[in-house]
Structure 1
Amino acid sequence: MISVKPIARHTSLCTVALAVGLLTGHAAGAALPEPREHVLSNGMKVLLVEVPKAPVATVQVWYKVGSRNEVMGRAGLSHMLEHMMFKGTAKYPKGAFDRLIRKNGGISNAFTSQDFTSYFENLAADRVELALELEADRMQGLSLDAKEFQPEREVVKEERRLRIEDDPQSSLVEVLFAQAFMSHPYHWPIIGWFSDLDAMTLEDLQRHYDTYYSPNNATLVVVGDIKAEALLPTIKRLFEPIPRGPNPPPVTVMEPEQRGERRFVLKREAQAPFVIMGYRVPNYTSEDSYALDILESILQHGKSSRLYRSLIYEQKLALAVGAEYGLMQADPGLFYVYALVKPGQKVEAVEEALNREIKRLQAEPPTEQELKRAKNQIEAAYIFQQDSNFRHAMLLGEAETIGAGWQKVGQFVNRIRAVTAKDVQRVARQYLTEDARTVGTLIPLPPRNQQPASASARQLTR
C-alpha cells in the first residue's frame, strides 16, 4: 500500500455537524489521554495509550525511513522492503505472520510514505502480545531470499502499473513532484520507477534493512484497551534484546530556492484534460503551516468551498477540483490545486479560473464565515481521527517519526483556532506566487486502438 498522506481529513457535512457539538465537550476538558512515553535501553521509543472503551487495540511500529532516505537510481527501496517484511523469518516462515494474525481475529498491513514506513496489527486487546512478538522478531530476523525477491518485485511493478501507469492523474502528480524538486529526494516516487525496480538487488534491500530497521530508528505505538504499566515489561522482554544499530545517515539535501515558474505537459491516454499547480511551502516547523492548512480547506473542502463553487457550480468549467497540503512532513513540501477539465472547455480557461481564486484570496482575506467553517471542518476531522484507536495511533506515530514529536498532536487544535483571516491572506500572498510554482497539464491521447481525434476534438485540449 502506498500513501503520501495516510491520514485522510475528509468528512461528510452531517459528520462535521455532529463533531462540532463534540468539540465543545472536548474543549471543556474531555481531553483524550496522552501517551505514556518510554525509551528502551536500545533507543526504541514506546508510546502507550490506554483507551478502555472497547476490548480492542492497535499495535504499530514506525520506522524513520521512506523514499526521502533513498538515492538516485534506487527509488522504491523502502516500499519494496515493506513488501519483503512479510516474507518471513527463521522463526516465523513465509505466510506465518498473516496466518497467525488472522487466526487470532486480527488484521495486519503496512504503508510507505516519503518520510516513513509503518506496520500495524488491529486485534483484540488480549492478543496484543502476539503482535508484539511478531514485530520484534522481524525487526531483527528478516529472511531476504532471492526466490522471494524476484516474484515480489514483479508484484510491485504491477502495483505501479495499477496505481500510476493506469491512472492519468496519479501520473501527473508524480511528474509534478519530479519537476518541483530537482535536488531533494521528494523528487522520486515512493513506489519507484521501473528502471530503478529492475536495477534493484537483494544486496540493496539487505543494506537498507541493516541501516534503517533498528530499534533506535523505530517507534512502537500501542493504543487501546491496555494497561500501560502491565504491558511495558512484555515490551522490554521482547524488544530490548534487539541490539541498537548505527545511527542512520541524516537527509541533508536542501532544495534550492525556486527562481521562476516551471511548466510541463504530460501526454497520455486519458478521458479528459487535467490541470495541476504546485507551490513550494513550509512544513510543520513553520507557524504558517496552520494557516496553509486552513487555506487548503477554504479552497477545496465541500461544495461550499471556493474552487467547487466557482469552477464547478458557477462557471461549469470542471468536473472535479481540489487542493492538497500536508503540514506533517519531514521536509518542506508542496501545496497544490487541481481541476479536471469539463468536456467542451479549454485548459487555459480552467487554469485561469484556478489563478483567479488564488489571487482573490491574496487580494482580500476570507470571510469570518469561511474561516469558522474551515476551522470546524478541520477540528471535526481531528476529533474523529482520535476516536479511532488506529487513527489516534497514526497521528502519534506520524508526528513522532517525522521529527515533530507526539506532543504536536495535542497542540494542533489550539494552533488552528489561533489562525486569523489575515494570516490566511498573508500565506496566500507569501507562498502561492508564480515564481514558486510548477504548472502541469495532462493532454489526453485517444486509446491506441482508435483513430486520431479530429481537429475540432483536439482543439479542446489546447
Structure 2
Amino acid sequence: MKPLSLSALSMPILFSPPRIARFAPLVLAAALALGSGVAARAQPAPEAVTQFTLANGLTVIVKPDHRAPTAVHMLWVRVGAMDEVDGTSGVAHALEHMMFKGTPTVKAGDFSKRVAALGGRDNAFTSRDNTGYHQQIPAGKLEEVMRLEADRFAHNQWPDEEFRREIEVVKEERRLRTEDSPRAMLYEQQAAVAFLASPYRRPIVGWMSDLDAMTPGDVRDFYRRWYVPANAAVVVAGDVDVAQVRKLAEKYYGGIAARPVPERKPRLEPEQAGLRRLEFKAPASQAYVGLAFKVPKLEPADLTDAAGAASPTAAASRDALALTVLAAVLDGYSGARLERALVQGEGRVADSAGASSSLLGRGPQMFILDGVPAEGKTTQQVVDALRRQVAVVARDGVSEAELNRVKTQWAASETYKLDSLFSQARELGSNWIQGLPADAGSRVIARLRSVTGAEVQAVAAKYFGDDQMTMATLLPQAMDPNRRPRRPAAAGRHDAGVLN
C-alpha cells in the first residue's frame, strides 16, 4: 500500500488505471505514531524547497532532508510520447534506452556500472508527458552522479550498430508488456478509439510498425530537438546543502549551451458526441470491461493563491477535484462502494471492480470504471452495475462519513510520503513538468479536502453519459495449447520503464 501522491495523480493512467491506494490503516498508524511521539528518536524535519534557474534555462530544485546520509538525483525532461509525431511513435522511449549507450568519455553500459560502484542504483522512465532519469546514492557521491548525468544530457552519442541492437530490446519489451497481455492490448486499442486528435491515442512504447521502421537518425533528431536546458529540470532531495547543490549545478550543467525549446502546436481533442465501442478478442481466462469517460483536469493556474472563481477554467478544475473524490468514494479503500455492491454479498456480479480518475496531465484526462465478471455473469451485467453505482451517487449523494474517510487518508498521506526520498523528488519533478508550484501536493490535498458532497453528487450526474464514454470489452478466446511462453531477450543492465 502507498499514499496518494501528486505524482501519482499526474501520471497519465489511461486505460491501465492504478487504484487510488487503499493505504488507510498503514498511513493512519504512521500518522498516529508520529503525532504521539512513538518514534524511537526525533527526526529533523525536511527543510523548505529551493528552486532556481541557471543562465542557460535549466531549472534546479533542491529539497534538503537530513534524516539519512543519502540523496536522490533526478533529471526531468519535459518531453514524452505526446510530443512524438505519427510514424515515429515510441521514439521518446527509444531515446531513453539510448541515453545509456555512451558519451565521448563514458562507454556504452558504463553509466550504470559507475553509479553502482558509487554504492548507488539508477534507472529511467518514459511517460506520455515526460522522460525521467534518476539515481539514489550516498550523499557524499552526489557530485559524481551530477557529472555523469550532465555529460550524457549534453553529449549522448553512440554508433548506429548500438541502436540496431537496442531497438530489438525495445521491441521485445513491447511484446512482453503489451502484445503478450490481452488487457494491455485492450488498453492500447481503447486509447486509439477514445482519442482522435490528442497524441495520447498512441502507445508510449510505440506501434510495432513504427519501431520496425525507426532509424538512428529519428532518435538523434528527437534528442537534439528536445534535450535542451530550458526543457529540463534537475531535482535533488536528501542529505544535501542548497549552496553545495547550486555550486555543482553551475559547474556541471551550467556550461551546457542554451537553445530554444521547440514550439508546441496545440492538438486539442474534439468534443465526443456519441458512444464509442471496442470489442477485443484474445486468448484469456476471463472477460473484462473498461468504461472510459472524458473528464476535465485540474489546470495549473487554478492551483495558485491568486486563482479565483473568475478564472475561465475554475469550474472545470473544481469538477476535476470532485471527480477524484468520487473515485475514492467508489474505490478508495477496502469495502468501498464498488466492492460492497459488485464483489461482495449475494448480489455479486464481479470478481473485481474499480474506479480511478486522473487529475493532472499535459493532455486530456479520463475517469475509468472497470470490472471482471464473476463466474456465470456477463460483461453487460458488470457495466450496468458499475453505472448504477454512479447513478446512485448522482441521485442520493454521498455521506459525510465517506467524505471524511477519504479526506483523512489524504491528510495522512502528506506525512507518510516523507518516508521516501524518491517519492519526494518524484513529486517535485512531476510538479515542474505540469507547471505547478513546488508545494502543489499540499495545495491539491487542501482543495480535495474542501470538496463538498454536493459537488461530488453534481459531477456524478454530469460526466457519465453515453456521449462521453468509450467502452472496451475483452472477449476471451481459447488458449493455443501449442503456444510456448515467450522468453525475455537478453538485455543490458538498464531496465527502462514505460509508465502507462
Report the TM-score when normalising by structure 1: 0.92
In structure 2, the partner of 1:309 is 340
The superposition leaves residues 250-305 of structure 1 with CA deviations (integer Å, 9 ceiling, x where unpaired) of 14100011111111101111110001000111222123222121111111123211
In structure 2, the partner of 1:235 is 249
SS of alignment partner, residue 436 of structure 2: coil
CA distance in 2, matches of 1:155, 1:411: 41
Residue of 128, 148, 155 corresponding to 1:134: 148
Deviation of the 1:329 alpha carbon: 0.8
Residue of 350, 355, 360 corresponding to 1:323: 355
For 1:297-376, list aligned pairs within 5 A. Answer: 297-314=328-345, 315-376=347-408
Deviation of the 1:239 alpha carbon: 0.5
In structure 2, the partner of 1:103 is 117
The 3 A distance-change label for structure 1 pair 139 and 222 is same
In structure 1, the partner of 2:26 is 15
Deviation of the 1:407 alpha carbon: 3.5
SS of alignment partner, residue 344 of structure 2: helix
- Checking the alignment, whether the CA contact within 8 Å between 2:20 and 2:331 is kept in structure 1 is no
In structure 1, the partner of 2:490 is none
The 3 A distance-change label for structure 1 pair 185 and 158 is same
CA distance in 2, matches of 1:7, 1:97: 32
- Checking the alignment, whether the CA contact within 8 Å between 1:291 and 1:416 is kept in structure 2 is yes
Deviation of the 1:38 alpha carbon: 0.8
The superposition leaves residues 192-236 of structure 1 with CA deviations (integer Å, 9 ceiling, x where unpaired) of 110111111111101100111111100110000000012211110
Deviation of the 1:340 alpha carbon: 1.2
In structure 2, the partner of 1:186 is 200
State the AA in 1 paired with 2:323.
L
Per mean C-alpha deviation after superposition, the further-off stretch among 74-83 and 318-327 is 318-327
The yes-or-no answer on 1:439 pairing with 2:471 is yes
CA distance in 2, matches of 1:341, 1:165: 23
4+ residue runs over 4 A deviation = 3-9, 22-25
Per mean C-alpha deviation after superposition, the further-off stretch among 430-439 and 178-187 is 430-439
Deviation of the 1:23 alpha carbon: 8.9
State the AA in 1 paired with 2:204.
I
CA distance in 2, matches of 1:51, 1:175: 43
- Checking the alignment, whether the CA contact within 8 Å between 2:19 and 2:356 is kept in structure 1 is no
Deviation of the 1:20 alpha carbon: 4.9
Deviation of the 1:382 alpha carbon: 4.0
- Checking the alignment, whether the CA contact within 8 Å between 2:65 and 2:237 is kept in structure 1 is yes
- Checking the alignment, whether the CA contact within 8 Å between 1:262 and 1:438 is kept in structure 2 is yes
CA distance in 2, matches of 1:280, 1:235: 41
The yes-or-no answer on 1:404 pairing with 2:436 is yes
Gaps of 5+ in 2: 1-10, 37-43, 300-316, 483-500
CA distance in 1, matches of 2:172, 2:125: 17
The yes-or-no answer on 1:414 pairing with 2:452 is no
The yes-or-no answer on 1:48 pairing with 2:62 is yes
CA distance in 2, matches of 1:412, 1:242: 35
SS of alignment partner, residue 447 of structure 2: helix
Residue of 275, 279, 291 corresponding to 2:322: 291
In structure 1, the partner of 2:493 is none
In structure 1, the partner of 2:209 is 195
CA distance in 2, matches of 1:7, 1:344: 26
Deviation of the 1:321 alpha carbon: 1.6
Per mean C-alpha deviation after superposition, the further-off stretch among 423-432 and 265-274 is 423-432
The superposition leaves residues 7-33 of structure 1 with CA deviations (integer Å, 9 ceiling, x where unpaired) of 9852434213224537979xxxx9853
- Checking the alignment, whether the CA contact within 8 Å between 1:35 and 1:47 is kept in structure 2 is yes
CA distance in 2, matches of 1:23, 1:55: 21
SS of alignment partner, residue 309 of structure 1: helix
CA distance in 2, matches of 1:86, 1:34: 33
State the AA in 1 paired with 2:245.
L
State the AA in 1 paired with 2:332.
H
Per mean C-alpha deviation after superposition, the further-off stretch among 199-208 and 429-438 is 429-438
CA distance in 2, matches of 1:128, 1:399: 23
CA distance in 1, matches of 2:18, 2:254: 30
The yes-or-no answer on 1:395 pairing with 2:422 is no
For 1:138-287, list aligned pairs within 5 A. Answer: 138-285=152-299, 286-287=317-318
Gaps of 5+ in 1: 451-462
CA distance in 2, matches of 1:211, 1:99: 28
Report the TM-score when normalising by structure 2: 0.85
- Checking the alignment, whether the CA contact within 8 Å between 1:211 and 1:245 is kept in structure 2 is no
- If asked which structure has higher relative contact order (CA below 8 Å, sep 6+), I would say 2
The 3 A distance-change label for structure 1 pair 287 and 404 is farther
CA distance in 2, matches of 1:355, 1:11: 22
- Checking the alignment, whether the CA contact within 8 Å between 2:293 and 2:464 is kept in structure 1 is yes
The superposition leaves residues 69-91 of structure 1 with CA deviations (integer Å, 9 ceiling, x where unpaired) of 01112111111111111111111
How many matched pairs? 444
Residue of 32, 37, 42 corresponding to 2:51: 37
CA distance in 1, matches of 2:105, 2:391: 60
CA distance in 2, matches of 1:236, 1:160: 39
CA distance in 2, matches of 1:23, 1:343: 45
- Identity level (%): 35
For 1:110-129, list aligned pairs within 5 A. Answer: 110-129=124-143
Task: State the superposition RMSD in angstroms.
Answer: 2.0
The 3 A distance-change label for structure 1 pair 7 and 432 is closer
The superposition leaves residues 353-401 of structure 1 with CA deviations (integer Å, 9 ceiling, x where unpaired) of 1110111111121111111111122333343223311001111101111
CA distance in 2, matches of 1:187, 1:307: 28
Per mean C-alpha deviation after superposition, the further-off stretch among 370-379 and 83-92 is 370-379
CA distance in 2, matches of 1:94, 1:22: 47
CA distance in 2, matches of 1:32, 1:434: 47
CA distance in 2, matches of 1:54, 1:8: 31
Deviation of the 1:171 alpha carbon: 1.7
Deviation of the 1:408 alpha carbon: 1.9
Deviation of the 1:164 alpha carbon: 1.1
Deviation of the 1:414 alpha carbon: 1.1
SS of alignment partner, residue 287 of structure 1: helix
CA distance in 2, matches of 1:34, 1:288: 31
